[in-house]
Structure 1
Amino acid sequence: MPPTAPTPSHYLRRLGIWDAAMIVIGGVIGAGIFRTPATVAERTQSSVALLALWVIGGLLTLTGVLCYAELGARRPQAGGTYVYLREAFGQLPAFLFGWTMALINYPGSVAAVATTFADYACAATGLPVEWVKPLAVGAIVFIVAVNLFGIRAGALMQNVFTLLKLGAVALLIVVGLVLARGHYGMAFEPGPAHVSSGTFIGALLPVLFAYGGFHYLNDLAGEVREPQRTLPRALGLGMGSVVVCYVLVNFAYLAGLGHAGLAASTAPAAELMRRMFGEHGATVIAVGIACSTFGYCSIAIAGGARVLQVMSADGMFFRPIARIEPRTRAPQFALAALGLWAIFLILSGSFGALLDFTTVGEWLSHAFGIATIFWYRRKLKSEPSPYLVPLYPVLPMIFVVTVLGVIVATAINDPRNAGMSLLVIALGIPVYYLWRRRLRTV
């Protein structure tokens, strides 16, 4: 068996509850809330149904957050889900998670969101489209460079951009309510009394994806002060804030555009701002979305690098990636490796296919990660946890069953990408055994 990584003794706990809550908010709010509501409106027939879906999705996500709070309190180590899977189910499932997430999904999402950042940055500044790739690459280089100085430098940058994205969200809410001029009935337009399960799931899928990203704080748990106390509070505070923001933004969209207007819009945030302030308004929200996407990239790079570093310390990746720089206590080689891989994906243009092929793997990791709670409760009865998810086992079971249902629905709606996602995971099995053989020969 590969040696267990002594990561908790190497990282320094420098993140307080404010930093941790900002990481949760910044990891969830990216570009989705500025676009996804239009997709949800297309798949629903009333404003009431749309708002209900965002509330239901928020409650389901909060259920997952409560589960991750217990896991983080039990094992406040860098690596998050990788650590839980390794301890509960063994090295192979943990490796398959790391293979799918740290090597494919994290850099793929960073490449995609960095490109989105560059798109909006060019739109806001009037730069030609030829600048998109250079700006996206430059953003990744800058984020990696800041994080090389340690978690405090990365957290400071992250806090600034999270506040900016919250400012953009607040502006959208105010503008939508002002445009409604007190006529908020459009936000409560009733629809058909009966909705098919297929329609409901099809509309819930983009909602749940927009709520994704709450797990990044657990990846950084080895650097959180008083983690048994801070992690549950920061996860609850951060995710609760996101749910409130998302529901209010959708209310503002409906109040300002109406359900039909929202469903017909390709860029509801820009359209809302354009109606209020003209083209200057569209430019302002483009800046806000650029800030939001930039902040997400910072969190994904920081969290993904920790997973990669822990994998390497276990002997499951190149040994130099396991190194933590003694002065800054940052996994500098892991940060550089993740950044370089994301840049390669941008330049090759292959990140879109990677993300399509790993969506199922990401949600499977959430389901199996939270399922480790059952193992911890059964096997470690004598080990008290400072925080326990309420209504156990109901809440973990609700989340796991719901996520598996989402995966099945995704496979039915998009069998090609779901099948490719499972193939990507399966390809990790021979790679795992090759690394095991390499360990025995070193």
Structure 2
Amino acid sequence: MTDETSNTYLRQLGVWDSAAIVIGGVIGAGIFRTPATVAERTASGLPLLALWAIGGLLTLAGVLCYAELGARRPQAGGIYIYLREAFGPLPAFLFGWTMALINYPGSVAAVATTFADYFCRAGGLPIWWVKPVAIGAIVFIVGVNLFGIRAGAWMQNLFTLLKLAAVVMLLVVGLALSHGHLGGVLAVDTTHEVPSGAWVGALLPVLFTYGGFHYLNDMAGEVRDPQRTLPRALTLGLIGVVVCYLLVNMAYLIGLGHVGLAASKAPAADLMSHIFGLRGVTIMAIGIACSTFGYCSIAIAGGARVLQTMGADGMFFHSVGHIESRWHAPRVALAALGGWAIVLILTGSFGQLLDYTTVGEWLGHAFGIATLFWYRRRFANQPVPYRVPLYPLLPFLFVATVLGVIIATVIHSPWDAGMSVVIIAIGVPVYALWRRSQVTSRR
């Protein structure tokens, strides 16, 4: 049923459209704030830049694995499809239960609120405007995506260019503040002592800032020539992100120095204010608003495709699995995800939900990449246009890294990790009841 439904999507996304989805899904608000946290846990610019490079290489290992998985199964649904084929419907349902029903709308609600916060700051609007602006952004994004992936891609391409412009602006300002010397990049921070092993704690926020590269696989059913386009777009998009992240961190180090970066609460705004004053803060607020708006667009489009695939599989309401015939858009799924995100904004509960589902999200990544071992064994002789290099090293490295992140999360936030397990466990009886109801309705 899923294959038939996914074939009704129109394959309209080219390499640039797809690469823009990767870039837009990864670059949100994190790069404008997270480097300060990493600087607090490092002693100088050299290890800081090294951590961002290592995080990028580890993420690239996962991206290359996703490229092969997407080339093998170029249809909407991403990890949900891979888990269903490799491990059966229950693990796939638990992933969808955790992500499409909780994490995706929670992410949309959180980032839409961040967008609204910066939008209101840039426009001088009072704080009580934040929720209405966030809700309005979600309604607008859903409305555009109702007219198909082409309309959504045009909007996404625009906001990807705007967030790249913000990155370029930070780099130019950093170079302008360097006055011809780059000593701040490698200067050692002697103001605080960094304990041994602190690099592990510094790597965690780096890896989280690299998250979001999986959205393109969720929309693989709308990619042209997917066996070739998906690997190219995933690789080019992630390499573009790594370059942007390294350049932005260099700009921070050049303009603020390692000491200033570690002490900053908003490094992007602080960097801009050195040249443009309060106007620079406003300019950066506009840049971050554009970046977060673009992320929301991708998360809504990608999450809706997972919901639609679940509905088509009989794992969710049948109406959610419908694809509108004129614009070839999952309109009911888009409305459902957007509506649930709005409810989360109104109740203010999205922060806790995101904390509670972090472990589930990373488990989904680990098991999703692990399906590659199953595909290689099960379809050993099947010709595939793209195979991940250095197999099985790269998928093993990524899975091991993800498991390390999960262990670190459990140690750092045992309550949140425990609640994540509870949410996943609740999905087991829900799955049993849902399957029973489906069998009864067919009689």
- TM-score calculated relative to the size of structure 1: 0.98
SS at match of 2:125: coil
Select 1:12's aligned residue among 6, 10, 18: 10
Counterpart Cα distance in 2 of 1:7 and 1:220: 13
Counterpart Cα distance in 2 of 1:244 and 1:302: 26
Select 2:83's aligned residue among 82, 85, 101: 85
8 Å CA contact 2:41, 2:194 repeated in 1: no
8 Å CA contact 1:7, 1:222 repeated in 2: no
- Cα gap change, 1:100 to 1:198, in 2 (>3 Å): farther
Counterpart Cα distance in 2 of 1:72 and 1:197: 40
The aligned counterpart of 2:421 is 422
8 Å CA contact 1:14, 1:225 repeated in 2: yes
The aligned counterpart of 1:148 is 146
The aligned counterpart of 1:53 is 51
Cα deviation for residue 413 of structure 1 reads 1.1
Deviations 1:307-366 (A, max 9, x none): 000001111111100000000000000000000000000000000000111111111111
Counterpart Cα distance in 1 of 2:381 and 2:181: 58
8 Å CA contact 2:204, 2:405 repeated in 1: yes
The aligned counterpart of 1:41 is 39
SS at match of 1:78: coil
Counterpart Cα distance in 1 of 2:181 and 2:420: 46
Alignment RMSD (CA, Å)? 1.3
Tell me the amino acid that sits aligned with residue 411 of structure 1: V
Cα deviation for residue 49 of structure 1 reads 1.1
Tell me the amino acid that sits aligned with residue 42 of structure 2: T
Cα deviation for residue 405 of structure 1 reads 0.6
The aligned counterpart of 1:243 is 242
Cα deviation for residue 8 of structure 1 reads 2.9
Counterpart Cα distance in 1 of 2:326 and 2:260: 54
Contiguous gaps of at least 5 residues in structure 1:
none
8 Å CA contact 1:11, 1:330 repeated in 2: yes
Please list, as runs of the form range in 1=range in 2, the aligned pairs for 1:8-407 lying within 5 A after superposition.
8-190=6-188, 198-407=197-406
Contiguous gaps of at least 5 residues in structure 2:
none
Greater shift after overlay, 154-163 or 41-50?
A: 41-50
8 Å CA contact 1:48, 1:191 repeated in 2: no
Cα deviation for residue 426 of structure 1 reads 1.1
- Cα gap change, 1:138 to 1:219, in 2 (>3 Å): same
Tell me the amino acid that sits aligned with residue 335 of structure 2: A
SS at match of 2:11: coil
Total equivalences in the alignment: 439
8 Å CA contact 2:189, 2:258 repeated in 1: no
Greater shift after overlay, 45-54 or 346-355?
A: 45-54
SS at match of 1:6: helix
Tell me the amino acid that sits aligned with residue 248 of structure 1: L
8 Å CA contact 1:116, 1:290 repeated in 2: yes
Counterpart Cα distance in 1 of 2:99 and 2:253: 35
Greater shift after overlay, 69-78 or 178-187?
A: 178-187
Counterpart Cα distance in 2 of 1:179 and 1:417: 42
Greater shift after overlay, 218-227 or 182-191?
A: 182-191
8 Å CA contact 2:188, 2:258 repeated in 1: no
Tell me the amino acid that sits aligned with residue 184 of structure 1: L
Greater shift after overlay, 414-423 or 301-310?
A: 414-423
Cα deviation for residue 5 of structure 1 reads 4.8
Cα deviation for residue 197 of structure 1 reads 6.5
8 Å CA contact 1:111, 1:346 repeated in 2: yes
Counterpart Cα distance in 2 of 1:189 and 1:231: 40
- Cα gap change, 1:313 to 1:376, in 2 (>3 Å): same
Deviations 1:417-438 (A, max 9, x none): 1111111111111111111101
- TM-score calculated relative to the size of structure 2: 0.97
Tell me the amino acid that sits aligned with residue 28 of structure 1: V
8 Å CA contact 1:148, 1:335 repeated in 2: yes
Cα deviation for residue 231 of structure 1 reads 0.3
Counterpart Cα distance in 2 of 1:430 and 1:43: 43
Greater shift after overlay, 176-185 or 337-346?
A: 176-185
8 Å CA contact 2:312, 2:321 repeated in 1: yes
Tell me the amino acid that sits aligned with residue 300 of structure 2: I
Counterpart Cα distance in 2 of 1:372 and 1:159: 31
Deviations 1:222-258 (A, max 9, x none): 0000000000000011000000000110011011101
8 Å CA contact 1:114, 1:293 repeated in 2: yes
Tell me the amino acid that sits aligned with residue 236 of structure 1: T
Counterpart Cα distance in 2 of 1:95 and 1:282: 44
8 Å CA contact 1:7, 1:78 repeated in 2: no
Cα deviation for residue 177 of structure 1 reads 1.5
Tell me the amino acid that sits aligned with residue 343 of structure 1: I
Counterpart Cα distance in 1 of 2:234 and 2:194: 33
Deviations 1:159-200 (A, max 9, x none): 0011001000110111111111122111112479x9767412
Deviations 1:373-408 (A, max 9, x none): 000000111211110000000000000001101110
8 Å CA contact 1:5, 1:313 repeated in 2: no
Deviations 1:128-187 (A, max 9, x none): 001000000000000000000000000000000110010001101111111111221111
Counterpart Cα distance in 1 of 2:169 and 2:312: 45
Tell me the amino acid that sits aligned with residue 397 of structure 1: F
